[in-house]
Amino acid sequence: MHDSKPSQSPEIDVDEQGNGEVAEQRLYPLVSQPKTVMDRQFEIEFLGSGVEAFAFTFG
């Protein structure tokens, strides 16, 4: 999701409602800002156990 709208970026691992599924150990891109980069806030909620999360920023 981007500004409460579905992301148009094909490399983002979420669906039109902003939901995703962890299926294997790898990097899951969740947010992309293709135009003007601004401070934003988002929330990740894990419904199951066993997931570890790490934040990386590039740019």
Q: What pTM was computed for the model?
A: 0.55
**24-44 burial: b if 16+ Cβ within 10 Å, else e:** eeeebeeeeeeeeeeeeeeee
What DSSP line would sit under 1-59, residue for residue?
Answer: -BTTB----TT----TTS-----SSS--------SS----------SSSS---------
How does pLDDT run across 14-42, given as a tens digit for each residue? 787 878 888 888 888 777 777 787 787 87
> Is pLDDT of 3 > 80?
no
